Each structure stands twice: as structure tokens, then as C-alpha cells.
Structure 1
């Protein structure tokens, strides 16, 4: 049985991979990539039924990264579990590579949905979940949203739809790192009482520390069997590197050589 330290060590290695990918290609979005490391590690190493040997299995679980700009984390995790080779991962964001700066659907590589234009992942996930129920499939559908993404009206249509159809095979996660592209979420649209809003549409809601594996695993094991489920993840943008944490700047910036060395040193402690 894996220990919490095992998952914490995995998270550290994933962050190093993300750092290397973004530094090498001077790509943006290291901050929002770092804030979702723990939830993706928990899902792919302990929860989702997915296999590189049978990527088209109709009973496989589905994961949708609706906040597609944080795809470096998804790629790093898919590499770690064998969906992406070393050559694939080193082709991130370069000419001729298969990995773009937003996910491009490729089931053989474990990518279920093309995302990047915000607001669509939950709609697609709700459709997959309803299809699964109609076809008597047992798969789960997990969708990871950004908190700034909740400003999109299509998200709320999906919330109502899933609640109405009691899609208990659907789990949504909101990465509440509290900083979106142009500022703090509370200054752009303040989502007060977020959980109560989802509950009013028929969802089961849990709110946890999104960097605590113990709380994540407990939440995954406490999903409602009668309603769609939401897990609100309270996270830190840029988590793991002190000078990146809670800084809007790192939504867009890639580290220079000095910052790269400092970040790598912190992640290696």
C-alpha cells in the first residue's frame, strides 16, 4: 500500500517535469499547472480506471482537463503512467511535437477532449456521464475546472443539467487558486458561497485542501451515490516554489535561467 509520502514524492517529481518543460520551451501557465499537481496525482495513481494497454476500453474512466492551459501537468502525469514516451514529452510545444500548449484529443495518448477555450469541459463531461448511464456503463467522468472558468455561463447550464439528471457518475473539481488571468477572482467575480450555489442545483459538495492527499482521498471515497459530485480544491497558484506562489505574474511567465535553478533547488528539498 502506498504511503502519503509516496504521493508527495510523486508530486515533487511531477513539478520538476513541469518546470523543465516550461523552462525549455518558454511556455506560459506554470502557476496554474503547479496548483493542480496533487489532484492529478491522486486521480491517476489511485482512482481512475485507465490503462495504456487498453486506451479505447469503453469501460475506462474519463478525465477532462477543462482548464486546458494547465496541460503541462496532465502531460507530466500521462508520461509517468506510460501513456506518453520520453520522446513525446520532450516534444511539448515545439514544431513537430505531438503535445501542444493546450490538450488536443488523442485517446491513444490518454487525452479525452481538446480543451483550452474555457467553459466547455463540464458540458462535455455531463454528456459523457449521461451517455454512460443510458448505456449501463460503470465508468466515472471527472472534470477539472478553474475558478476563473466559473465566469463562463455554459458552466452553469451544465451544473443545472447534471443536477437535473442526477448524474452520480460525474465528479467536478474546481481548482480554487483564487487568481485568474487578469487578477484575483474575488475582484473580477466574487463567488461567495460557491458550494451552496452548486448544492442548490442538486449537487453533493465537499470542500478540501487541494494539496493534502489525505483530504483528497477521503473526498474521493465519500462521493454521493445519488447526485453529481463537486470537490472544491483550495489551492495555491504556483504551489511548491516560494517566489511563484500566489503571484499573478506566474500565470504567464516562464522562468529565466536563474529562476529555473532556484525553483529546481526548492523542488529538490
Structure 2
């Protein structure tokens, strides 16, 4: 799966470069978890995106849409040609995920905090329907400054939603600074445990650790799961990693695209 992750990173870069600017840092940081979910754990069908009983993924940090689109392209939901229409006129790939436009997207996101709330609703609906599907959700560490995240999480724990697995992209940065300088989570493990979640903290850019954590989360019963992904923003492309807080959204030139594609071979 490491090679697949490299290919998805390359596609993510191509997607953003097609319009010249985009949310590259936080897209690259979640490629590994997307790879493991779509290639190992999620029950989905690219030929039937609306399949009943499917697992669902809500990327609550919706600005990471390019990484999701790249993964969907890799899986065959959309063509490579379509991948290169990000945010362009009449595109089906807006900069933030939109369930009304893109096959394989289960929730429109971008307004931070709302995605996880919708995902909790999906998990409740699955329980009520006796559906054995899992509901996965990816949130950001900057996004975790939204009160709605914690309201939804309290409710998920109160309802014992063990079909609900949340990933925190803990890359330490947000749009305007390091999260610790804005309003960072102090001891996220204790924070999420205190909210009633089964918590694991791992290297969020390790395919093997992500896989093992999801397996453990599925064994957990009676409570929702939080997998803290300690990631590197811009992971996989050194000059993006080195840009630090400036890589949240940045212009991408043709020269930079070619350099990134070379590094991802």
C-alpha cells in the first residue's frame, strides 16, 4: 500500500496544480489513512457509489478534498481527466467535498465541525437500521477548536456508537499558525478519553500502524473510537513539508509539480 499512497500523493499534487493553488499541506497529511481505508477496510463499490449497507467516510476537514478526489480517482470513481478540473467552471470537484457533485463523497463538508456532527447522525442511523456498516470521520486539529466537534463527540459516546471511528489529523498546524499558538489541544489522549472514546495515538503516516489501529478499533465494543494520527503536514514531498505553516494553501507551479512527481516516483 505504500506505493499506492505515493501514487495518490502524486495525483493530489496534479489535482491542485491543475488550478495553480490549493490546500496541499493538509491534503498530503491524510493520504496514508485514506489509502488504508479504501484499500483495506471500507466496504464500498466504485461501480455503485450509493450501494446500500456501504461504509461511509466523512472528511470533516473538507479543505482536504484534493486528497479525497485523488483517492477516488485511484479507485476508479472518477477519471484522471476529471481529476484535473479542480474548482473550475462546471467541475464536479469543488475545492471542498460536495456530496451533490462527486460520486463517492458521502457528506458535503468545509464548514469546520459540521462534518463530524453529520457522521454521528449516520452512525446512529446505521444502528437504528441494524446496518453493520462503519462510519469513519477525519477531523483536523485546527478544526477541533470548534465547539460543535465536542458536542457531537459527547453525543456519540452517550449513545455508545462503536460503529463510529474518528481520525484526528494531528499535524500541528492550521491556516494562520501552529495550533499550539492558537488554541491547541492539551493532551488529546486524555481529552478524548474523558469524552468517552476508546483512544489510540499512532504515527499517522505509517500504513501498518493505521491498519492495526483500525483493527483494534473494530474490536472495541460499546464506545466510539478515536485514532490520533500524528502526521506531518505536506508529508511525502520535502519542499512542501519544509514550508511549515505556509503550506496550508499555497500556489503550485509547473516546476514544483514536476519536482514533486519526481520525488514521489
Aligned pair 1:225/2:256, yes or no?
no
One of 120, 127, 131 as aligned partner of 2:121: 127
In the superposition, the TM-score normalised over structure 1's length comes to 0.94
Q: Which residues of structure 2 form unaligned runs of 5+?
A: none
Q: Deviations over 1:155-191 (max 9, x none)?
A: 0001100010000000000001100001000110121
Aligned pair 1:110/2:104, yes or no?
yes
Please tell me whether the aligned partners of residues 141 and 184 of structure 2 are also in contact (alpha carbons under 8 angstroms).
Answer: no
Query: Hey, what does 1:4 align to over in structure 2?
Result: none
Aligned pair 1:238/2:234, yes or no?
yes
Aligned pair 1:39/2:36, yes or no?
no
One of 194, 215, 230 as aligned partner of 2:209: 215
Query: Hey, what does 1:256 align to over in structure 2?
Result: 253
Q: CA deviation at 1:214?
A: 0.9
**Stretch deviating more after TM superposition (8-17 or 48-57):** 48-57
In the superposition, the TM-score normalised over structure 2's length comes to 0.95
Aligned pair 1:196/2:190, yes or no?
yes
Please tell me whether the aligned partners of residues 55 and 107 of structure 1 are also in contact (alpha carbons under 8 angstroms).
Answer: no
Q: 1:23 to 1:53 in 2, by over 3 A?
A: closer
**Stretch deviating more after TM superposition (171-180 or 255-264):** 255-264
Please tell me whether the aligned partners of residues 27 and 254 of structure 1 are also in contact (alpha carbons under 8 angstroms).
Answer: yes
Query: Hey, what does 1:267 align to over in structure 2?
Result: 264
Q: 1:110 to 1:242 in 2, by over 3 A?
A: same
In structure 1, what is the Cα distance between the partners aligned to 2:178 and 2:245?
Answer: 8
In structure 1, what is the Cα distance between the partners aligned to 2:110 and 2:102?
Answer: 20
Q: Which residues of structure 1 form unaligned runs of 5+?
A: 1-6
Q: 1:108 to 1:265 in 2, by over 3 A?
A: closer
Q: CA deviation at 1:262?
A: 2.3
Please tell me whether the aligned partners of residues 83 and 93 of structure 2 are also in contact (alpha carbons under 8 angstroms).
Answer: yes
Q: CA deviation at 1:118?
A: 0.6
Aligned pair 1:186/2:168, yes or no?
no
Q: CA deviation at 1:142?
A: 0.2
Please tell me whether the aligned partners of residues 145 and 184 of structure 2 are also in contact (alpha carbons under 8 angstroms).
Answer: no
Please tell me whether the aligned partners of residues 92 and 101 of structure 1 are also in contact (alpha carbons under 8 angstroms).
Answer: yes
One of 18, 23, 29 as aligned partner of 2:12: 18
Q: 1:208 to 1:24 in 2, by over 3 A?
A: same
Please tell me whether the aligned partners of residues 168 and 228 of structure 1 are also in contact (alpha carbons under 8 angstroms).
Answer: yes
Q: Secondary structure at the match of 2:200?
A: strand
Q: CA deviation at 1:258?
A: 2.9
The 4+ residue runs of structure 1 with deviation greater than 6 A are none
Q: 1:72 to 1:183 in 2, by over 3 A?
A: same
Please tell me whether the aligned partners of residues 144 and 172 of structure 1 are also in contact (alpha carbons under 8 angstroms).
Answer: yes
Q: 1:129 to 1:55 in 2, by over 3 A?
A: same
Please tell me whether the aligned partners of residues 167 and 228 of structure 1 are also in contact (alpha carbons under 8 angstroms).
Answer: yes
Please tell me whether the aligned partners of residues 65 and 143 of structure 1 are also in contact (alpha carbons under 8 angstroms).
Answer: yes
RMSD: 1.3
Query: Hey, what does 1:3 align to over in structure 2?
Result: none
**Count of residue pairs the alignment pairs up:** 262
